[in-house]
Amino acid sequence: MKKDKENIVNKLYDIEKIRTENIKKEEKNISYNPEQVLSLNEIKSLDEKYLLQVYARMPVSFVYGSGEFLYDTEGNEYIDFLSGIAVNSLGHANADIVETIRTQADKLWHTSNLYYNSQQALLARALVEISFSAKVFFANSGTEANEAAIKFARAYGQKMNTTKTKIIALKSSFHGRTFGSMSITGQSKIHDGFGPLLENIEFIEANNIKSLEKAVNKDTCALILEPVLGEGGILPLENEFLEKAREICDKNKTLLIFDEIQTGIGRTGKYFAYQHSSVTPDLLTIAKGLGSGFPIGALLVSNKYNDIFDIGSHGSTFGGNHLACAVGYEVLRVIESGKVLENVNNISEYLFTHLNNIKNGFPEKIQEIRGKGLLIGIVLKENIQARPLVAKALEKNLVIGRASDNVIRLAPPLIVRIKTCDRALEKIEELISEI
Ligand SMILES: Cc1ncc(COP(=O)(O)O)c(C=O)c1O
């Protein structure tokens, strides 16, 4: 019996050896060498030749990151005040996250959702503990988390009444690029040319209570809001608007969904932006900061609605895999044990004070500094475009972003330090003075 087992193992080992040798032979035909260091021009020409050209890229390629800093192919250092669009919550190459990835990668990456998964269960419990929710569904990205929320909302509506299918979203909102999430995104430039989209979606003005009252009725299954509109110009929703939204949703048995894909996981100084207000949603979606750069997304659901989805209602092959969930759990552990939220609030106050000073120095160029925590918008005068300023900042070794035509977006890592902010503020002031 033992001998048989040994024979089988040896046979398998031989097969594996043959396979590996074959792969090595095949590799010779593929012009890929992970050791190869490419110049920016080489990367650019490969990109143009082999990638679908859907991104307007900046002329830089980063090859290394550490904390609040990025380094390009030439070894130049940049201050990262964008965090991969509010993603690298703990900065680059955080030692605890690197260690977690190494340890988990040595053990197990993926088993599918056919089996129980301790990393998934532990991360779900942690998310429930820091939020209003009772249950979690894991996805791999923000748009997928929103797809889950849209399906959930329609399933909820259908259970009540076949006509309860309308979803209301905000003008200028952004919820993703897949069909459902694109359909609830309030920007025609995202929709145009891809129709027909999901039916029965209506858009209303942000912070406009009258249009809210007019739009939501008993046929509305969900209202989806970003507590701070990200792509729509770092625009916080007013507490009065959120309170009214809650009241109207309750009256019409409409689900209130918060998309906290950009604002969640400490970005605004609390775990979730809704925690700054007096309003609790029924559903909440997260992604970006949860993995600090590792792809993961989630839908959080309140206890009241935990029977809407049942076995087979939704699923994902990769969603909630061991590696992603181990990282998500470690991100939350580091935020909690490292007093990261405290840092967000202190640095936010510092940045708002100094940015307002810059604004006061250039009243003809800056309208307003707005946002929450470390999601900050520098709202330029209507006639000033943010895009060229983002490019100019890069020339000054400062990475910043844009959120709508005339808003500069700042989203430094949540672990950013005052001395780095001082260097960034100096560059921002110089940038504004040169407009
Ligand atoms: C508020 C919001 N929702 C959804 C998304 C889509 O997330 P993803 O790009 O991970 O699909 C984004 C991305 O920018 C976002 O900011």
Pocket of ligand 1 from Cβ distances under 6 Å: 85, 141-143, 146, 174-176, 226, 230-231, 259, 261-262, 287
Computed over every residue of the chain, the mean pLDDT equals 94
Q: Are residues 77 and 140 in the same domain?
A: no
Handedness of CA 205, 288, 425, 427 (dihedral sign): negative
Q: Among the atoms of ligand 1, which is closest to the Cα of residue 231?
A: 16
Residue nearest atom 16 of ligand 1, based on CA coordinates: 262
pLDDT interval class at 36 (50, 70, 90)? confident
Q: Are residues 344 and 427 in the same domain?
A: yes
Q: Are residues 147 and 248 in the same domain?
A: yes
Q: Are residues 177 and 303 in the same domain?
A: yes
Residue 112, Ramachandran bin (φ over 0: left; ψ between -120 and 50: alpha; else beta)? left
Cα(176) to centroid(ligand 1), Å: 5
Q: Are residues 158 and 265 in the same domain?
A: yes
Residue 91, Ramachandran bin (φ over 0: left; ψ between -120 and 50: alpha; else beta)? left
From residue 270, give the alpha-carbon distance in Å to each of 59, 311, 316, 342: 35, 33, 29, 9
Q: Among the atoms of ligand 1, which is closest to the Cα of residue 85?
A: 14
**What is the residue range of 374's domain?**
62-93+340-433
Query: pLDDT tens digits, residue range 213-238?
Result: 999 999 999 999 999 999 999 999 99
- CB neighbour list of residue 267: distance below 8 Å, 6 or more residues apart: 86, 89, 273, 288, 289, 344, 373, 374, 375, 411, 414
Query: pLDDT tens digits, residue range 367-376?
Result: 999 999 999 9
Range of lowest pLDDT (17-21, 97-101, 319-323, 330-334): 17-21
- Please give, one letter per residue, the 3-state secondary structure of 265-304: CCCCCCCCHHHHCCCCCCEEEECHHHCCCCCCEEEEECHH
Is residue 333 in some structural domain?
yes
Looking up residue 312, the CATH number of its domain turns out to be 3.40.640.10
What integer pLDDT is reported at residue 4 of this predicted model?
A: 58
pLDDT interval class at 21 (50, 70, 90)? low
What integer pLDDT is reported at residue 3 of this predicted model?
A: 58
Domain count of the chain?
2
Is residue 228 in some structural domain?
yes
Q: Among the atoms of ligand 1, which is closest to the Cα of residue 297?
A: 10
Q: Are residues 155 and 238 in the same domain?
A: yes
Cα(174) to centroid(ligand 1), Å: 7
From residue 84, give the alpha-carbon distance in Å to each of 70, 97, 184, 217, 307: 11, 17, 24, 38, 36
Domain final residue pick, 337, 358, 378: 337
Domain final residue pick, 337, 362, 381: 337
Looking up residue 357, the CATH number of its domain turns out to be 3.90.1150.10
Cα(30) to centroid(ligand 1), Å: 34
Q: Are residues 245 and 316 in the same domain?
A: yes
What integer pLDDT is reported at residue 37 of this predicted model?
A: 80
What integer pLDDT is reported at residue 430 of this predicted model?
A: 98
Cα(261) to centroid(ligand 1), Å: 6
Cα(146) to centroid(ligand 1), Å: 9
